Every structure is written in C-alpha cells, then in structure tokens.
Chains A and B, each alone.
Chain A
Amino acid sequence: MITIKHDGCIFCVGCSSVCPASAIEAVGTRMKHFPEKCVDCGLCVKICPANVIQMYKGVKEPDDLPPEAKRG
C-alpha cells in the first residue's frame, strides 16, 4: 500500500499517468489514492518528482483515505 504526503505534492499527476490500475486520481486540488484498486506495483513511488509517495507493507488505514474507500 502507499501513502501520499500531501504537503510536498506538486500536483503534477505523474503518479496517475503511470498507474496501471487507475488507483490514483486528481480530485479537487489533491491526489487521491483508491486503495481498493491499488495493485502495490510501486510505479507511482518511482515516478514521483517530489518524492512524496511512500510504500509500506501490510494493510494500514492511512489518515487521508477517502471516505468512499473506507468500506464497512
């Protein structure tokens, strides 16, 4: 799973352009990650020019999870 550090994000949408699963999208003025679509490939981590996307192991609920992604 990944987390996006929104503070340093320059909103270039690079992550969403390489995401094979369409799991990151620009929504409003920030990038949103849709964990249910994410395939953990790490391409967004590699491509981010601002280096604000990080990968971690396991399923953790990040604080910035969009409400629609929080199931149950």
Chain B
Amino acid sequence: MRMKYDHDVIVIGGGPAGSTFARVAAAGGMDVLVIDKRKEIGVPVRCGEGLGKGEIIKQGLDLPRQCYSIEVEGAKVVAPNGKAIVWKNEGTRGWVLERKFFDKWLCELAVEKGAKVHTYTRAIEVLRDEKGKPNGVKVSHGGREPYEVRAPLIVSAEGMESMMARQMGFKTVHALYDVDTCYEYEMKPYDHENLIELYFGNEVAKRGYVWIFPKANRKANVGIGIGGNVANSEKLGGVKGAQPKTLLDAFIKNDKQLKEASTLLDFGGVISVGAPIDEFVKDNCMIIGTAAKQVDPIHGGGIGIAMETGVMAAGVALKAHARKDYSKAMLYEYEKQWRPGLGKDMANRLLLRKVLEKVSDDDLNHIFNTLTDNDMPDVMDGRFAGPVAKVLAGRPQLLGVLSALVPSGKPKV
C-alpha cells in the first residue's frame, strides 16, 4: 500500500534558505510544511546582518523598509598598519539588515504563497520507510508529546547545527579549522561612512577580522571572528589569549570612537568558512544553505547564497514532484547546477582565505600598500592574476604563498 503523506515536502528551518525554498516550492504548487524550533522566526539574531542587493533584485523581491537598518555603498578593508582600501561600485551596494524583520518577511512571503509554517517545533528524529529511506520527521511542539509528520521529501535548512541532516547521513560536522568563532556587540554612538569596515591583522584578529557594520541612528554591529583552530584554550592547541571577546574588547579600547560608545546587545556565533559539504542530495533528502556549509569563506556571509540555493533546490524539487520521483538521481540536478556556478565562486574565495591566513602582518601591509581601490573587483571576483603580479613586483618572496591563486602555475612578474 502506498504511504499516505501529510505534505509534499517538510522543510526543517525557517531561515533565509528554508523560507526561500518554501516560497518557490509552494508557488509551484507543492504542499510545503516549514518547521522551526525557535519561538519566533528570526530571533535570536546571530550574525552581522550584511546582504548585497544582487540576490533580492534577481528574485524580483522588494525589500520592505523595516527589514533593513541602512543602505551601504561598499566595503572598506583596513590593513594592520591602518592603510585602507575602499571597494565601492554598482555591485557592492547592499543593506545592513534587521534580521529579525527580514527573516520574518521572507517567511511571510512563503506563507502567502501557500506554505505552512510551524514555529517552536523541533525536529527530533528523521523517520524512515522499510527500505531505510526518509519519509517523515518526528517533531515536538514546545517540548510536548512528539508526533509524526510524513512527506516524501525532507529538506534540511537547519543552519550551523544541522542535527537532522546528520541523521540523514550528511557530513555536516564542522572542523575547527573551517569555522570562525565570533563575538559581536551592537554599539552606539558610532559615526560611519556608509561602508562596511573590515580590519585585518594577526594582532587584531588571529586568522580572521574585526568588522563594523553600520546601522541607522549612529549604531553599528561591531564584531570579531577568529579561526576556530586558534581560539580559546591554549591547552588544546590554541593561541594564548586568542579569545574572541577579549580581542574584540581590546580592539574597541584602541578605537577613538568605539571606546566611548555603549553596548546595546551582546551576541555571537560560529560561522562556517570552509568548503561546502561533499553531497547535497540523497534519496528523499536535500540540504541547503548554511547547513550545507554554503557560506562565503571570506566574510562568512550566507544569506545571499542561501536564497539563491533555495530557488535552485526548489526548482528541482518541483520537477521531482511533477514526476513523483524523489530519488537521489532526480534530485542531483540541484547539485549539478550548484557546483559550477556558486560552487566555483566559493572555491575561489576559499583559496583566497587560505592564502590570506598564511601571510604575516608585514606582508599584508605590503599587499595593501600596493593594491588600489581599482584592484578590489578583480580580487573579490577571483581574477587574481593582475593583483598578484602587482604585489609580487615589489615583494617577490611572496611568490610561494601567492602562486596558489594563479591556476597556470607561476604568474608573470
């Protein structure tokens, strides 16, 4: 006898990835259930809240005013010696969001298209049919008596924790080397230049950076992310004193403006800065967004990627739904679309991250002194050859480190 399903798809997690998936899938006619363990969608906020404009425009969405705090024009990247490069053009415009409202808005869009959303509902266990293929989830609302929900497709959009994805067999455990541990304050007053500010240097933030994301009314998110492998306990192989909160406090103490400012909010988190996981689909399962480690390895931003992935995966899910075939082979199309596009961008960024973490503060200063504002688009888009040649002209000893960025072996100096 055929299994009777409650829904066509269950999405675990109502963040940007899950809500976007749900919106597109529901608009295409699927019966979608989104469950989120949080009491309120979008709370607590665990990120710096930056988002480029590209993805929202591409999806034809109109961001409501309450969803963002301020519009930013680009980024200012600051070297250990204080030299700054500004990266500002048409493509770098973006928002510093109010994640609380943004996430809820995205979720509401899904509801408007017909998706069903349950908050405070935690997935406890992935249920399987007699062949061992997932066909439902055991959930609990607010810690009450668990019940079963059945669907032929389960989508994990769980974010960093990804406990259900682990049960589905995805390898979502993060290695320390591939995560940054972050601490952040919301601070006021801070007068900014409508630019996201990033401060690099081994003194400032070991294998990471300090960021200042401007917000409306002279507020700013001031945070730090440092490599998980160097953080905290020196007994376990870390670097002495490399504790995100301690380093952030030290940075704030040395900043003319921030040392006088108040903190309005403490928060923190762990972000993925490694490669995406090795497979995104299994029979009756998909994994999208941060759960699949689809996060930019340079800045740890995942909202744009999550939304783009949500659309992509939902497109494939709709095809699978039309054929009533949720096999891995059918769902694999999502991964096939993802790897060459978004996957390639991410691989470039990962390479850049790994190279950057190898250079000393002195070399970093040299790189920043050499490059100009005009070089930033090349660097950020993965066209490394030009900038690398420029840097090497003044400091050839960096060849060993930087040659990794140029695919055809040795760059011309």
A residues near B (Cβ < 8 Å) are 10-14, 16-20, 22, 25-28, 42-43, 45-51, 55
Contact = CB atoms under 8 A, between A and B. Distances in A.
Contacts of B161: 13, 16-17, 25-26
A51 B243 contact: yes
A45 B159 CA distance: 20
B233 interface: yes
Contact of A51 (B166, B175, B228, B232): B232
A13 B266 contact: no
Interface stretch (B178-186, B326-334, B353-361, B363-371): B178-186
Most B CB atoms within 10 A — which of A10, A12, A49, A50?
A49
Interface string B303-338: 000000000000000000000000000000000000
Interface residues of B, number: 37
A49 B183 contact: yes
6 contacts: A10-B268, A14-B270, A25-B163, A26-B37, A42-B236, A51-B245
Contacts, number: 91
B18 interface: no
A25 B266 CA distance: 21
A49 B244 contact: yes
Given A12-B46, A49-B182, A43 B176 contact: yes
Contact of B163 (A14, A16, A47): A16
Contacts of B179: 14, 17-18, 47
Given A10-B266, A49-B182, A51-B245, A17 B238 contact: no
A46 B228 contact: yes
Contact of B267 (A10, A42, A43): A10
Contacts of A28: 143
Secondary structure call for the B interface: loop
B20 interface: no
A10 B269 CA distance: 8
A3 B228 CA distance: 19
Which 4 interchain pairs have the tightest Cβ spacing? A14-B270, A12-B269, A49-B268, A17-B160
Most B CB atoms within 10 A — which of A10, A16, A20, A46?
A46
Given A13-B270, A17-B173, A51-B232, 20 more contacts: A10-B266, A10-B268, A12-B160, A12-B267, A12-B268, A12-B270, A14-B270, A17-B162, A17-B272, A25-B161, A27-B122, A45-B233, A46-B238, A47-B228, A47-B232, A49-B182, A49-B245, A49-B270, A50-B245, A50-B268
Nearest to A20: B173
A46 B233 contact: yes
A62 to B, nearest CB: 19
A43 B237 CA distance: 11
Nearest to B37: A26
B29 interface: no
B174 interface: yes
A14 B233 contact: no
Nearest to B267: A10
B231 interface: yes
Contacts of B44: 11
